[in-house]
Amino acid sequence: MKPVVRVAILGAESSGKSTLADALAAHYGTVWVPEYLREFVDTYGRVPFEHDQFGIARTQLERERAAMGDARRFLFCDTTPLMTALYSRVYWGRVDGELARLEAVHDYDWTFVTAPDSPWEPDGLQRESEEVRQMVHRMLLETLDARGIPYVLLGGSLPQRLRQVEELLGPA
């Protein structure tokens, strides 16, 4: 049996990561790993503090590992520790050592970045503004480029994004 291909889906807030990950998992008949941050915010009724960031990233990775057993051909990961660390830089101007170690290991087979080309939508506690979304997008691309992490920028509607991914990963 072939190993499962791990696909990181990164992007700024309100750029369609979760929608895309869910649609790709359905399209390819596999599972996806939702962004734990959303659950954290819903559970605690607040945005994370700086000291929460490592635990959020660690939980995200633990859920990835757990989902590998159920994945068929692909595992779509809605965010990675790299995004958690990027938001730490945005909000606190630094990344703690534990989170930095998790962020450094970006060992996904594919990295897709969702373009912030859809209308920005507020989402309660979790979303800032269109300005922050654009800033985070720029920071993400700069980070990926600086670290030499290859990525594919996905834009357009959900059907257009699905077609872009299928051209790269192959048919379902």
Q: pLDDT tens-digit profile of 36-64? A: 998 999 999 998 999 999 999 999 999 99
pLDDT at 127 (0 to 100): 59
Convert 87-124 to b/e letters by CB count within 10 Å (16 or more is b). bbeeeeeebeeebeebbeebebebbbbbbbeeebeeee
What is the mean pLDDT of the segment spanning 127-137? 84
pLDDT at 131 (0 to 100): 87
pLDDT at 44 (0 to 100): 94
Distance between CA atoms of residues 160 and 166, nearest Å: 10
CATH number corresponding to 5-169: 3.40.50.300
pLDDT per residue as tens digits for the range 141-151? 999 999 999 99
pLDDT at 122 (0 to 100): 67
Q: Name the more confident of 132 and 66.
A: 66
Q: What pTM value is reported for the model?
A: 0.93
Instruction: Indicate the domain borders of the chain.
Output: 5-169
pLDDT per residue as tens digits for the range 58-116? 999 999 999 999 999 999 999 999 999 999 999 999 999 999 999 999 999 999 999 99
pLDDT at 15 (0 to 100): 92
Q: Name the more confident of 77 and 118.
A: 77
Q: What's the whole-number average pLDDT of the chain? A: 93
